[in-house]
Amino acid sequence: MWNDAKRAQDLGREKKQLDGVVTTLTGVSTSLADARELFEMARAEDDDATLISVEGDVAAVEKAVAGLEFRRMFHLPQDPNNCFLDIQSGSGGTEAQDWARMLERMYLKYCERKGFKVELLEESEGEVAGIKSAAIKVTGDYAYGHLRTETGIHRLVRKSPFDSNARRHTSFASVFAYPEVDESIEIDINPADLRVDVFRASGAGGQHINKTESAVRITHLPTNIVVQCQNDRSQHRNKAECMAMLKSRLYELEMRKQNERKEKIEESK
């Protein structure tokens, strides 16, 4: 195992997650025992100050238990994984693109508050404002678990600042969250099924990035899945990131198909 750095890193991360649960449970058990002992002593001696202190200790235990209860909601095997977020503006032109930008900023701020590391892998600017699309990689414990329910169509209704008549507009943007695939999971991709395009990166990114064909777009022809990355000045690293995204998309697609088959079997019983 130690000859495989990535495998060792993944196992180390899993151990860290389990250690955190065990440490919390041990702390809860110890704190409750201590609080019980202090409570009995304080009640026997009519020590109000100690009773108030015990109340604070019990409140801290309740908070720790609530955290464990929240963690129980992450029941999917992929929940502890890093994840990718794809944001696409819907129909509606500038208004929809501005809404997509608002969503992008919201997710970036949310991930920052959660202590997740974020990488903006790709961003396509709108003609007037906002973005047409963006791809974000989120790294951290249970990143996918926190973000998986964001998948879907997001709607905004407002008086558009881009409409001189201040009319009400309804805008749509789609968000798709999918887990990063562990290296231990083998996904066979036939190179003949791929179309690889290289192009100059758009938007901010520095002179080198914008003047060389470092951006990469990969299309998986059988499924028509398209991924692209332009955040690095190296075409090779951008391509590697695209392949990681593609593997994750194909894995998520296969898991979805398996779940649909299971549901059909259950419905037929």
Query: Where are the domains positioned within the chain?
Result: 5-72, 83-179, 191-268
Please check whether residue 182 is in contact with residue 10, taking contact to mean a CB–CB distance below 8 angstroms.
yes
Check residue 100 and give its pLDDT.
Answer: 95
Element (H, E) at 118: strand 117-125
Please tell me the chain's helix, strand, coil percentages from 3-state DSSP, rounded to the nearest 5: 50, 25, 25
Amino acid (one-letter) located at 167: R
Q: Which CATH class is domain 191-268?
A: alpha beta
Q: Confirm if 160 and 76 have CB atoms less than 8 A apart.
A: no
Per the listing, tokens 């994840």 go with: 83
Lookup result for tokens 């250690």:
19
- Give the whole-angstrom CA distance, residue 81 versus residue 183: 11
Q: For residues 58 and 64, what is the distance between their CA atoms, to the nearest angstrom? A: 10
Q: Which residues pair with 178 in a beta bridge?
A: 84
Cβ(112)–Cβ(123) below 8 Å: no
CATH fold group of domain 83-179:
Alpha-Beta Plaits (3.30.70)
Q: Are 247 and 138 in contact (CB under 8 A)?
A: no
- Kindly state the helix (H) or strand (E) to which residue 19 belongs, with its residue range: helix 5-45
| pLDDT value of position 269 | 62
- What does the angle CA 107 – CA 112 – CA 117 come to, to the nearest 5 degrees? 95
Residues 6+ apart with CB under 8 A from 260: none
Strands (DSSP E) found in 150-202: 152-159, 168-179, 194-199
Residues 81-90 as b/e (b if ≥16 CB within 10 A, e otherwise) read bbbbbbbbbb
Would you give per-residue pLDDT tens digits along the chain (269 residues)?
566 666 776 677 778 778 877 888 888 888 888 889 888 888 888 888 888 888 888 888 898 888 888 888 888 888 888 999 999 999 878 899 999 999 999 999 999 999 999 999 989 888 888 999 999 999 998 999 999 999 999 999 988 888 878 788 889 999 999 999 876 677 888 999 999 999 887 655 444 445 677 899 999 999 999 999 988 888 899 999 999 999 999 988 888 888 788 777 777 76
pLDDT of 204: 52
Note the pLDDT of residue 147.
Answer: 95
Alpha carbon distances (Å) from 164 to 26, 86, 159, 168, 172:
62, 31, 10, 11, 20
**Contact partners, residue 145, CB within 8 Å, separation at least 6:** 73, 74, 76, 79, 80
Report the alpha-carbon distance of residue 219 to residue 242 in Å, rounded. Answer: 10
